Structure 1
Amino acid sequence: MSHPPIVPTDDWQAALNTLQVSEKALTRQLDAVAAARRRLPMTPVEHDYVFEGPDGPAGLADLFQGRRQLIVYTFMWHGADHVCPGCSLFTDNVGHLAHLNARDVTLALVSRGPLDELLALRRRMGWDLPWYSSLNNSFNADMGAGDGFALNVFLRAGDRVFRTYSTTARGVERLGSHWTFLDLTPYGRQETWEDSPQGWPQTRPYQWWRLHDEYDTSKDPS
């Protein structure tokens, strides 16, 4: 089996240092892209979508679960016998939701499939993300997913819901950690080092971080 060349430690460290120059530059570029994303305009969602959830019918505003920001991953669905392995891989890599919730963000799945089939797969996979059926509405098509997958971000302001960001195809590949999810939201990580518009909610890094069962969930996030 082939492998990288074998070199003395000093040569390896020099090559690593050279690579890390590019990695640091990419990190700064990603920070700049995230800052631009936080300054994107937003567009109102005027359609009254009705989803089917475990507790009955739900509008798009209900998917926020009382929070101001919502990330919706449209999980591709072509039947219980043809579960999308890519969407399953994505969902497997979602961490504990308490960290997103602590930053006023809800993450939910939506699929054009019967709710009982969706929830059966959720139980089988051990996932705890909220999952809603869009079988009887046009949400998937309207939000760029069609019969495939996509990720959309929304902001709730009073009784109005706005679409702030959307991506699909390889744009979804690098997602999965809470940092990359938060970078997609209009308020970002909400930390003081970020280049955000004046008045955006922010706290110092590390200050808000908790073990996932130590967040104060008693406060009204709205």
Structure 2
Amino acid sequence: MSETAMPPVVSADEWAAARAELLVAEKEATRTLDRIAAQRRRLPMVRFGEYTFTSAEGPVTLRELFGEHRQLAVYQFMNAGPDAFCGGCTYFTQNVANLDGLARNDIAWATVSDMPIEQMAGYWKEMGWQHIPFASSAGTTFSADCGAGGGFLLNLFLRDGDNVFRTYTTGQRGVDHLLFSSTVSDLAAYGRQQDWEDSPAGWPQAPTYG
């Protein structure tokens, strides 16, 4: 017998009733998220400055990160110092996938960081992130101008010709909600098994980045 606490065992009818009750709350949350998404699509935008980053191939501008796409998502990877890497940013980047799907929606992706390009390139190689475009924002005010404050942040941009505008930004739990592994874990009985979650007594939990 397992020593870990588990959900109570009930009849099929009782489970179906409890699931139906939860479904009502889930559908309302979905409708709320749809309303928020509609409001997000109606946000105004603000013109953003010109920045020149450093890529593994040489200088690259913010405009050039778009490629031929009209929209660009930029994740600001936290700079944790010359011999360290942000665990949260690493976990997030491990979840970045299906960039071809973004491209079909006319969205390019890039990860930037105030880390030196040599440090980024070495980490990208070590982690096997060859599919994720990256550039160093070291020596620029991009991170500060975005409001990252030395942390992590996701920004969305739109271009009109060579003019670049910021349309949206999110951080903290707004970024967290984008993670495939976290989203699927939220559907499982034990959740993410992290100590900040509101879980029943006896559920397995550990520090988020322990």
TM-score (norm 2): 0.81
SS of residue paired to 1:66: coil
Letter in 2 for 1:21: V
Residue among 172, 177, 186 paired with 1:174: 177
- CA shift digits 1:72-124 (9 cap, x unpaired): 00000123521111001111111121110111001110100110110111111
Aligned to 1:135: 138
Separation (CA, whole Å) in 2 of partners of 1:48 and 1:41: 20
Q: Give 1:28 deviation, angstroms.
A: 1.2
Hey, what does 2:57 align to over in structure 1? 55
Q: Which runs of 5+ in 1 are unaligned?
A: 181-222
2:159 counterpart SS class = strand
Aligned to 2:162: 159
Code of the aligned partner of 1:77: N
Aligned residues: 177
- What is the Cα-based RMSD across aligned positions, in Å? 1.3
Aligned residue for 1:24, secondary structure, equals helix
Given candidates 75, 81, 84, the residue that maps to 1:82 is 84
What code does the residue aligned with 2:14 have?
A: D
What amino acid is the match of 1:88?
Answer: T
Gaps of 5+ in 2: 184-210
Please give the alpha-carbon distance, in whole angstroms, between the structure 2 residues aligned to 1:80 and 1:176: 26
- Per-residue CA deviation, residues 4-53 of structure 1 (Å, 9 max, x unaligned), is 111111100110011011111111111111111010000001x2211001
Instruction: Specify the alignment match of 1:40 in structure 2.
Output: 43
Q: 1:131 Cα deviation (Å)? A: 0.5
Q: Deviations over 1:114-147 (max 9, x none)?
A: 1011011111111121101000100001101121
**SS of the counterpart of 1:58?**
strand
Measured in 1, the distance between the counterparts of 2:158 and 2:179 equals: 20
In 2: Cα distance, 1:72 partner to 1:160 partner = 16
Q: Matched residues in 2 for 1:176 and 1:100: separation? A: 15
The percentage of aligned residue pairs carrying the same residue is 48
1:94 to 96, 115, 119: 96
Distance 2:14 2:95 in 1: 35
Q: Which of 114, 117, 123 is 1:115 aligned to?
A: 117
Whichever residue aligns with residue 18 of structure 1, its letter is E
Task: Give distance in 2, aligned partners of 1:32 and 1:137.
Answer: 36
Of residues 67, 87, 95 in structure 1, which corresponds to 2:69? 67
